């Protein structure tokens, strides 16, 4: 966006192609400069070193103030878009960590369920053996049903974990997309602000 700000300053001062009548003479004779806009961690600072000379050459203080305000607004729009993207990226990483944690919990619960099933089967076999019951026929079917129910429970735990993990990953993707869109919207707002402000500055000088 520094390039857009430079282009706007050039347009207003008449330094570029399509300059206003007499603007090039003003810039050459006065050595005026609209100032340098610096974006840093502390914010936006504007220095208009040639304000008096520019005013003497026909560039009004109102025009300079308009250019400064336009540039600050454009930079602010970009900063807001980037801040929204950073927040979205943070949320996406949180969702990804939640997805990984969900998978781990699911695997742990599945393994514990299988251990419970094995322990219960061992208890059933021991009871049947202590009773002197042959494990063929009905006792065998009871053991098979216990094993089958235990397996279904373990698979249900895994399935639930997979669904929750997939949902969290989807949220991460949506968050990243929203962040990218917010950053893009910030650049678009900045461009619109620069163009609109430049047009107003040109009309003031006519």
Asked whether residue 61 is domain-assigned, the answer is yes
Nearest CA among 98, 106, 103 for reference residue 153: 106
Same domain, 111 and 160: yes
Q: Is 197 within the bounds of a domain?
A: yes
pLDDT band at 13 (very low <50, low <70, confident <90, very high): very low
Does 88 map to a domain?
Answer: no
Residues 105 and 29 in one domain: no
| Whether 67 and 129 share a structural domain | no
CA–CA distance, 143 with 16 (Å, rounded to integer): 89
> Cβ contacts of residue 9 below 8 Å, gap of 6+?
15, 34, 67
Strand partners, 39: 44
Task: Determine, yes or no, domain membership for 16.
Answer: yes
Same-domain status, 23 and 48? yes
- What stretches of the chain show up as alpha helix (H) in DSSP? 2-13, 23-30, 51-56, 61-130, 138-205
Contact 53, 30 (CB under 8 A): yes
Judge whether 130 lies within some domain: yes
The answer to which of 111-125, 144-158, 183-197 has the lowest mean pLDDT is 183-197
Q: Is the pLDDT of residue 19 over 80?
A: no
* Cβ-contact 20, 205 below 8 angstroms: yes
Q: Would you say residue 89 lies in a domain?
A: no
Number of domains present in the structure of the chain: 2
Q: What is the mean pLDDT of residues 148-159?
A: 96
Q: Which residues form the domain of 63? A: 2-82+187-205
Mean model confidence pLDDT for the chain = 74
Do residues 44 and 68 share a domain?
Answer: yes
Q: Report yes or no on 65 lying in a domain.
A: yes
36-84 tens-digit pLDDT? 333 333 333 433 344 444 444 455 666 677 677 788 888 888 899 999 9
Instruction: Report residue 153's pLDDT band, with 50, 70 and 90 as the boundaries.
Output: very high
């Amino acid at each position: 966006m520094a390039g857009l700000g430079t282009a706007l300053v050039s347009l207003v001062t008449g330094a570029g192609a399509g300059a206003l009548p007499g603007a090039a003479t003003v810039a050459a004779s006065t050595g005026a400069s609209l100032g340098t806009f610096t974006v840093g961690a502390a914010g936006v600072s504007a220095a208009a070193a040639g304000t008096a000379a520019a005013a003497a050459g026909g560039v009004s203080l109102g025009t300079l103030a308009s250019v400064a305000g336009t540039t600050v607004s454009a930079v602010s729009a970009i900063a807001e878009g980037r801040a929204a993207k950073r927040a979205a990226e943070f949320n996406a990483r949180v969702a990804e960590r939640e997805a990984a944690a969900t998978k781990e919990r699911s695997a742990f619960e599945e393994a514990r369920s299988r251990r419970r099933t094995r322990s219960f089967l061992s208890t059933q076999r021991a009871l049947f053996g202590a009773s002197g019951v042959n494990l063929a026929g009905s006792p065998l079917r009871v053991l098979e049903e216990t094993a089958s129910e235990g397996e279904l429970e373990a698979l249900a735990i895994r399935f639930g974990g997979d669904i929750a993990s997939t949902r969290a990953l989807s949220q991460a993707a949506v968050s990243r997309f929203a962040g990218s869109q917010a950053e893009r919207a910030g650049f678009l707002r900045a461009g619109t602000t620069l163009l609109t402000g430049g047009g107003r500055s040109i009309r003031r000088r006519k």
